[in-house]
């Protein structure tokens, strides 16, 4: 008696080229049986990829043979299967995957332990929307551990038409295509059936499916970084850059996606961050959120850990104690409930800008994601680079001059962050011309006073600043001058080239301080001292108003002493 071709749900065929093949028959009156002898004629099984796979160790292991097939002359319209010696392995894999074989879909054959692949292709249809999930994928993962599969040499595939394909001619049937590559990237198990008698289109109703071709199945993930906040300064470029000052904190966010660890017994997943010397990392600020849930380590669960080295830190997910190499252990498969595949990962942390931050040289923070790439070798990892973000600090130049435009040494100044009554602390460099803002670790050897110089063209460099400040002259180089400039400004760093400008600059009422920044240079202010009333600026000076109102109290020996305004 001619065996009747079984029918499978059309949905099973939707993933023929990616994972699963279901077999269907919609015999019409014109359909004819394909001669049984042709069911033994070798047919190609081909693996395709978007990468070079020519050196991979791919083998095709037959799970079942075609025992019947029919055609409309162009397409295959139905077929049947018979076990090819793998029934025990198939049964074990179904059991180990927790799949219930006691139920059968409508129109399908009941489970037959002597010929189980018929039930598999008809009933394990829940992987049709993705090659990475569902009972069929779970079955294949377990099947790949069965000795009847691992011990089968199979048919080795060779390079096909180009480096992105591998192929072999095999006896028609259903195959597991296994990547046994041990070094470098490797695919999880692939699955499909061959064509028959040169026909590779399976027709089910109005839908056609391709047989004999499968896609190489690797999966990875990506990571991106952005700056989300700073305790002083501004952020630009959707978090790509920020400006701030030494001693302030910058908050960062890493976003990734749990890789598809399907088909792996163990899976390493980590985010690696590299940062420059002007930033200090605080491991205690790290927070991890996966799939919308904060993963908080406690006495019974270590969902993630942070390891550090000079200029680097690593967030390792699902760390375990069975590391095969120090610091590289991770197994998100063991914590599958906490790491659902392809769900959102967010890591946040803060850094402090330290004394090594240099104006016009951005401090950088770069991330990459490291993950397993070979189900055969758990320690074989690959990395995908993320992006780099930049943090800038500003620079102010102070010049003290007389009315003849000559540098004056000995004037002292203090700088205050707007809203603060405590003067900013600085560390004076050995050159005598540079004052760098002190960071939080520097409690000795600091000063809150900046002194003007006559050398270096009278320029004093003040670095590590950003934002709104008030500067006060606290002592004049000339004796007897009691009214001293007090002016405010906001430093703005160009987050492309690091040049600092005033935005805005507000003069003191006597216009002794002015914005004299040369084009293309950093913010520079010049503060003038006058020896007598005649040296005072003549335009808009409050001093001239005071003089006109006869508020000059005393003039002696060429020195002016003025009464402070209330």
Predicted confidence at residue 565, as pLDDT, reads 39
Predicted confidence at residue 127, as pLDDT, reads 57
Give the whole-angstrom CA distance, residue 493 versus residue 392: 7
> What digits encode the pLDDT tens for the residues 139-183?
999 999 999 999 999 999 999 999 999 999 999 999 999 999 999
DSSP secondary structure letters along 275-291: E-TTEEE-GGG-EEEET
What structural domains and CATH numbers belong to the chain?
Answer: 10-215 (no CATH), 223-392 (2.60.40.740), 394-531 (2.60.40.10)
DSSP secondary structure letters along 98-166: T---S---TTSPPP-TTSTHHHHHHH--TTTT-TTSSHHHHHHHHHTTSHHHHT---EE-EE-SSTTEE
Give the whole-angstrom CA distance, residue 84 versus residue 330: 38
Predicted confidence at residue 484, as pLDDT, reads 87
Whose structure tokens read 């993933």?
A: 15
160 to each of 42, 80, 164, 165, 359, how far by Cα in Å? 16, 29, 8, 5, 56
Q: How many CB atoms lie within 10 A of CB 71?
A: 22
Predicted confidence at residue 323, as pLDDT, reads 44
Q: For the chain, what is the radius of gyration of the CA atoms?
A: 38
Closest by Cα among 25, 12, 36 to 172: 36
Predicted confidence at residue 72, as pLDDT, reads 93
Strand locations in 354-485 (E):
363-372, 381-392, 394-402, 412-417, 426-428, 434-437, 450-451, 459-465, 467-475
Residue 542 is given by DSSP the state H
Give the whole-angstrom CA distance, residue 432 versus residue 234: 31
Give the whole-angstrom CA distance, residue 65 versus residue 81: 5
* DSSP H/E element including 490: strand 486-493
Whose structure tokens read 């904190």?
A: 249
Q: Which tokens in the block code for residue 42?
A: 């070798």
Whose structure tokens read 């380590």?
A: 297
Whose structure tokens read 């048919």?
A: 155
Give the whole-angstrom CA distance, residue 551 versus residue 532: 15
**pTM listed for this prediction:** 0.85
Give the whole-angstrom CA distance, residue 327 versus residue 324: 9
Three-state secondary structure along 166-202? EEEEECCEEEEEEECCCCCCCCCCEEEECCECCECEE
199 to each of 4, 41, 208, 209, 508, how far by Cα in Å? 20, 12, 12, 11, 90
Predicted confidence at residue 328, as pLDDT, reads 58
534 to each of 269, 512, 528, how far by Cα in Å? 74, 14, 13
Predicted confidence at residue 125, as pLDDT, reads 64
Predicted confidence at residue 535, as pLDDT, reads 60
> What digits encode the pLDDT tens for the residues 447-499?
999 999 998 989 999 999 999 999 999 999 888 777 789 999 999 999 999 99
Predicted confidence at residue 514, as pLDDT, reads 93
Residues of the chain with pLDDT under 70: 1-29, 125-131, 321-328, 531-566
Predicted confidence at residue 549, as pLDDT, reads 41
Q: Which tokens in the block code for residue 108?
A: 């399908």
Strand partners, 526: 399, 514
**3 state SS of 548:** helix
């Amino acid at each position: 008696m001619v065996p009747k071709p079984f029918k499978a749900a059309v949905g099973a065929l939707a993933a023929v080229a990616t994972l699963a093949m279901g077999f269907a028959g919609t015999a019409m009156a014109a359909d004819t049986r394909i001669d049984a002898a042709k069911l033994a004629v070798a047919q190609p099984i081909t693996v395709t990829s978007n990468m070079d796979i020519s050196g991979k160790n791919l083998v095709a292991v037959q799970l079942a043979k075609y025992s019947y097939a029919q055609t409309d002359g162009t397409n295959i319209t139905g077929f049947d299967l018979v076990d090819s010696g793998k029934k025990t392995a198939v049964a074990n894999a179904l059991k180990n995957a927790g799949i219930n074989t006691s139920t059968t879909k409508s129109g399908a054959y009941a489970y037959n332990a002597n010929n189980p692949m018929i039930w598999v292709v008809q009933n394990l249809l829940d992987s049709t929307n993705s090659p990475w999930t569902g009972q069929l994928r779970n079955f294949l993962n377990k099947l790949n551990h069965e000795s009847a599969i691992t011990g089968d040499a199979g048919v080795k595939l060779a390079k096909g038409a180009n480096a992105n394909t591998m192929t072999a001619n095999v006896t028609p049937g259903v195959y597991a295509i296994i990547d046994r590559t041990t070094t470098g990237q490797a695919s999880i198990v692939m699955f499909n059936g061959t064509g028959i008698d040169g026909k590779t289109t399976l027709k089910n109703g109005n839908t056609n499916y391709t047989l004999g071709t499968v896609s190489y199945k690797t999966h990875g993930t990506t990571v991106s970084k952005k700056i989300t906040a700073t305790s002083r300064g501004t952020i630009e470029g959707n978090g790509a850059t920020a400006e701030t000052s030494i001693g302030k904190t910058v908050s960062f966010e890493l976003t990734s996606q749990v890789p598809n660890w399907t088909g792996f017994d163990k899976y390493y997943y980590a985010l690696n961050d590299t940062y420059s010397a002007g930033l200090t990392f605080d491991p205690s600020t790290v927070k991890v959120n996966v799939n919308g849930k904060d993963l908080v380590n406690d006495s019974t669960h270590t969902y993630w850990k942070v390891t550090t080295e000079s200029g680097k830190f690593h967030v390792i997910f699902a760390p375990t104690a069975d590391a095969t190499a120090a610091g590289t252990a991770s197994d998100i498969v063991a914590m599958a409930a906490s790491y659902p595949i392809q769900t959102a990962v967010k890591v946040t942390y803060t850094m402090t800008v330290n004394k090594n931050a240099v104006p016009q040289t951005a401090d950088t923070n770069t991330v990459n994601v490291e993950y397993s790439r070979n189900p055969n070798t758990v320690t074989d990892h690959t990395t995908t680079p993320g992006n780099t973000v930049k943090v800038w600090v500003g620079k102010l130049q102070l010049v003290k001059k007389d009315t003849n435009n000559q540098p004056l040494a000995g004037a002292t100044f203090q700088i205050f962050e707007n809203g603060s009554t405590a003067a900013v602390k600085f560390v004076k460099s050995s050159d005598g011309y540079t004052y760098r803002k002190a960071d939080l670790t520097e409690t000795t050897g600091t000063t809150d006073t900046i002194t003007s110089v006559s050398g270096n063209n009278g320029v004093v460099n003040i670095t590590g600043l950003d934002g709104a400040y008030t500067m006060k002259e606290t002592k004049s180089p000339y004796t007897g001058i009691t009214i001293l400039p007090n002016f405010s400004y906001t430093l703005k760093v160009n987050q492309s080239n690091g040049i600092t400008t005033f935005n805005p600059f507000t003069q003191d009422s006597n216009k002794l301080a002015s914005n004299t920044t040369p084009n293309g240079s950093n913010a520079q202010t010049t503060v003038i001292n006058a020896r007598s009333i005649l040296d005072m600026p003549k335009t808009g000076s409050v001093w001239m108003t005071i003089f006109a109102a006869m508020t000059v109290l005393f003039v002696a020996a060429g020195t002016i002493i003025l009464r402070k305004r209330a």
